Structures are given as structure tokens and as C-alpha cells.
Chain A
Amino acid sequence: MIHPVAPDVPEEHWNLRLYVAGQTDKSIRAIRNLNRICTEHLNGNYTIEVIDLMERPQLAEGDQILAIPTLVRRLPEPIKRIIGDLSNEERVLVGLDIRPLTRA
């Protein structure tokens, strides 16, 4: 079991938004990777919103989306962006600021 180490804010809620554009391989991989990472590290304390820009292109401007896929951590603040299909888990954790991993 892997625990997130965030002792000072123990019950933080993670609001994540994943931007994709259509059902591409990269998008599908990103969704799968994100689900797995969240399940493993966020203790059920998260919501994931997947936004398909093919359907809602007007939303790209507001969150300054350029690269696809882009994961935006809306909460906890500050806002962070991670680009890519999230296949590099270590970088995702660094990007999301899920601090030092302790593996049991």
C-alpha cells in the first residue's frame, strides 16, 4: 500500500481536470493512467473531470490548454499543469505535488 504523505493537510480534496481531444490513443492512455495513479495515491479523496475539447472547444482558452492531454490540478491550489499521457508516474506525482512516496 502506498500512502500520500501530506500530514499537515490530511483530508485534502483533489479536483483534477483532464483535457483530451477525441478518443485518441494518448487520451485513452491518459485516462487509464490517471485513474490508476489516483486510486493508488489519493485515498479516494479526488474528483476527475474529463473534458473532450472536440465537444467543448470553448473551454480550451480558459484553462490555457495547448498540449493534449493536459491534466490540470484545480485543487488544492495552486493550479498545476501536467502535459502528456501520464505514463511517467514519477513525473505525474512530482507535478501534482504528491510528496515523497513511502512504499510499505
Chain B
Amino acid sequence: MSARRPVAIGGPGARVLCDHRRGMRTAHNFVLVIWPRALVLAIATVALTGCPSSPNADAGDAMDAELPDTILAPDVPADMFRLPDGPPPRLPDDRQACAARNPLRQPYFGDLHVHTTMSFDAVVAGTRLRPRDAYDFARGRPVALPPYDAAGGGGRRSQLDRPLDFAAVTDHGEFLGEIRMCLDPASPGYLDGVCVRLRETPLGTDLFAELGLSLTQPNPMRVRFCQRQPGECLRELRDAWQETQDAAESAYDRTSACQFTSFVGYEWTGTTGASNLHRNVLFRTRQVPWTPVSYYEANTPQRLWSQLDTLCLRAGFGCDVLAIPHNSNLGGGTIFVPRADDAMPYDRAQAEQRARMEPLVEIYQHKGASECLVGWPSPLGPADEQCRFEALPSAICTGRPTDPPDCSPLCGPGVVGGFGSVCPSPNDYVRGALTLGLQERARLGANPFEFGLIGSTDTHNGTPGNVSERTFPGHMAMVDDQPVEQMTGRPGRFSPGGLAVIWADENSRDALFDALRRRETYATSGTRPIVRFFGGWSYAIDLCTVPDLVSQGYAHGVPMGGVLPMRASMTSSPRFVVQAFRDPGSTPDAGAQLAVAQVVKGWLDATGPHERVYDVVGNLNNGAGVDPATCALTGTGSDSLCTVWTDPDFHADEAAFYYVRVIENPTCRWSTRVCTAARVDCTTLPATDPFAQCCHPRLPRDIRERAWTSPIWYYP
């Protein structure tokens, strides 16, 4: 474990609030968050083994001694399988032109963060769906979730009432091969200790803890079997990666109907020191590198980018790729740090590389929102209360005296960051990072954090877009299939996750990927409101009465994700067109009305960074509500909102970003439905009851679903 370097960079907002001390406890907390049931066993395991400094090496000498060696000829070189020299062969990647093509663009809804049984954490939890099943689900076909009956049938039926337009299966790039090896009786690793433990400890607990721990090591090593026989593990990895690609290919509609787009992708799962650095890697092309670049090949984000650069972008076989960080709320002060691997501040080229490789951030998913740190005061007024939206406890407990009382055991001396963190940095959040980006641009002339926003689910059930609060089946197979499990511990604070929305000309890989690159995207917390956001200098002030608002929006400015063009005159202030329509709903889910559209502005002046939230149209406190007992809605809101907003505080010499947050009227949160179904009565419920969290004062009864758009930037 290396000592953590200080990260006080980029001005007053960038302080890390707590003394992050690293240790084995950190890694156990990582397990805690992902998989609460593993906690007791994991602690017991480590207590017995006494905190091994290299958990990979503990793969069990005892196991090896007891089990037959599967290698018959030890003198034969183990590494019998190597990747071919040179890039993969070119594959045909053409398609028909789409019948539906609209130069004024359509909103497409999808999910770019999906785990299946090929992910190590999902498979040990009992997830059975494969990538093909996940794409089937995304396209509206029903699937069965565990528990299954003795014959492997049955299960809980799940189906989307509105299919998705696009999805990417993003299984963990780490252990793709190991998992496959351990589940194939013909594999030489099948009887290796690591595989026996995967199959034979309860739900794979023991192995899960070990694999999770290995991802927290700064210099990770693969499990012993794969160190001894790297070729065999590589072969399995190739096999799994091929399945990922084949599933994406067969789901992609290459006909003119353009009904569904898939992307080949995976998750890079670096969790150094238990701080979440995870990225989803997404390919535009059918052509992808021979294997995913995982934490084992690239143990820092910078190395990930340069390897993707070498193996994809500059490999000369037509490969294109980008990466999307997520759960910066668990970043422990490390995810948006403008320093290179050598701890030196970014130079301009490094800042540009980061912006090029990571044009987007996933702001919302089942493990909470990453918009802004709860309780972080703005110099111009009170803290933004909306930062509490679906915040994990880590975002609520800041380590300051003003914390709620029940934070104290969670956040104090010796408490660590990241997955174990209850003491995050404001820069772990999108708003802090966008602000830091302005400062970096002032320093370097390039903004490393010039990113747009998407949401997704991070489902570990293999069910993309399964975001309804009405039908939340849990997040990870047998870990939280029961209502009482969903309400135990931190999972009570989880949610079904969100969606990615892309404004594109048509539903094809190229059109969607182009839009991701230009950041013409927004995130939702799971519902489907439709939001336009344009910025420019010359919009008519009455544009909201003009039928061709959209074409005017494009003609005289930039859409969400853009950078404002040069000013037309020295005196003007920028104008922003904000247009939001309620989720038009589906037959079972009517969709809620809208309450308010807000512009969140962050800017830099001589005294440092500032932020402010403007209610630009609608009314957050419109009196609408929801009855938690029946989930019936009360009060009214708006079916659509539109305004042309001129920044009243604009100064031409101050760099700024603007993004829109659209907030719906309240509806019942999934946990309220679960608690109601369990007939929980908070007046009589003992504190020890498994459903006690139903009555926790900080567990929200309702949810104000919302959308966050990509920002529009202004640079002097």
C-alpha cells in the first residue's frame, strides 16, 4: 500500500476534507458497498489470514497442496497461447442508411453501463443472463431473474414497457477470462484453488473478496493460476471478449429500420486504494483490440488512455473509442485530479488527451448521483439542497461539525476514502470538476474536464434500462432479490439507476457516437423527459413562441455540450434557450409533470471559483406532492417548460459553464413501495427490525426524478 499523495490542487474548492488513511480496512469497505453479504465473511477471512500484504498471493498454498495439479507436463512452456502479431483483421462494418433521419435530431434513450454473468461480481451473486440476453432485454423481450427453481427454470419475470434505442454491455474487463475458466470443466484451471473457491464457497464470497481486493492494489497481480499459465487465461479472455463482440454485433440493427444500436464495451475497474476510478470503455466500431485493456494492463487512467490510443485509435485498423468515468461520488478525492502519473500537474497535452478520451461522465446510476457534494456552501448563498438527491451517505457526511448526528460513527479519524469513504471532496463531483476544469484551462489553455453528462444503470442483473421505481427487482441477483435485502444497509440508498439520452440524427453507431463526442447528451434519473438546451448571443427573446424554435436553436448557437462561439459584440450577454417536455409516459407509467428548469452556472473570477443555481422557468415549490401510502400524486406542475434566459451576472472576462437541471414533481420512491408492501408501521416498528431503514429519517419517501444536461461553456 503506497502512501497517498496530497491532492490539494486548483483552489479553495479542491481540498480533501478528511485525512484519508489507507489500509486493509479500505478494501473491506469496497466489498461492503458492492456486496454487503460478503462483509462478514471477508472480515473473517482477513482476520484469519492477518491482512496479507499481497492478497493475490494468498490464493491458497493449502488448496494447491490438496488438489491435483492439472498440468501434466510441467516442462512444457505454460504460455502456449499468444495474441497474433499486429492489429485484428478488418471486419465489414457497413450498414444501410436509416429510414428515420432528422437533421434537427431525435432524442434516443439508452443504457451504457450493463453487467452480465461475465462480470465477476455479478456471476458470484447468481446472475445468469449473458450479453445476448441483456441486448434482448434492452429490445423489449422478457427475461427471468434469479432465484430460479431446482431445474434452473422459473425466476422473476422482468420486461421493459418501453424498449431502449441503444445499449452497451460493459462487463468488468478484469477477470473476464478467469470467470470463464472457472466455469468450464474442460479448462485446465477448473480444479485450481481459485476456481474451487469461486464455485464452492457460499456465492463465491471468498473469491469475490480476493478479486475485489486485488483491484485496490496499486500494482495488481492476476490470480496465481494466471501467473503460472498466462496463456491459458489469455485464451479464455479472448473467448469471453469475442462473446461480448458477437453479442453486440448480432443485436445491432444494420437494416434501414435502425431499431437498435449496440456498442462493444467493457468496464476498466481500477479501484486504487479503494477509491473508485472506474471507467466504461466504449467502441464506435466493430473493430476492437484483441483484448480489453484492464487494470492489469493499465493500472492508472493515464495508462488506460495511452494504451487505448496505441491499440485502438492509432492502430490503423479503423478502431474508435472513448471512456466514461462513473461513480465519482466514490472517488475518494482521486478521480478528477489534474495530475499526471508522475504526480506533476497536467501539461497542456495531457489535459487535451484527457478531454479527448473522456468527453462524458456518468452522473447518475444505481449507486447514487455524482452531481454535487451535499452541504457544500456557495459563496453567494445557501448550499444547493438538490445535491441531496439520491446521495449516498458518503455525500451527506462531510466530516464537519454541521453533519447530521448519525454521521459521526461513519466519518471520523481513521476513516478512509472511496468505496469506504464518508468524507469526499467536492471535486469528486461533476460540479466541482467542471469548476476545476475552468481553473485548469486558465492555467494551461486546455480544459481536461470539459465533459458532458449521461446516466445509466450499472445493473448487475443483465437488464439494461430497468429503471422503473415501480418494479425495482434489486440491483444484483441474489444479493438483493428480497425486499428486506434491498432495505438493508447501504443498498437502501441505492436506486434503479438512470438513462443516457443522446440527441442524434439517426439511430446508428456512427450518429450516436458522433453525438457522444460532441456531448449532445443528457442524463436522467430513469424517466424520459425531453430537454433541449441551446446557447448563443442572438436568440430572439420570444423564441418560445416561435414554432421553429429548434432550427433557430441550431442556426444561431450551440446545443448542449457546445462551447459558445465568439461574442457578436462587446456588450452582449449570452442567451440560453431552455426547453423541457414532460416524460410522455407509457401505458403502465404515465410520467410525472415538471416542476422547474434550473440553470446551474459555475464561473471563475479573480477571487476564485463560484457557482449559482438559477430557477429559470417553473416553480420548484409548486406544492405538488405524493401520498406515500398510496403513491397517488397531488397538486400540479407543468407539461412543458420553455424560456430564453439571459445570464444577468455575465462578465466577459470570466470563464463559465452552464448546465440545465430539470426537476419533476415528486413520485413514490421504490423503497416507499417496498416498505408499503411489507406493511411497515413506523409507529410500532422496533429498531432491530430488518425493515428498520424504512423508518430512517433520512431515507426519502419520494423521488423528484430529473434530467441533467451537458454543459455549455464560455471562455473569454
- Whether A associates with B in a native complex is no
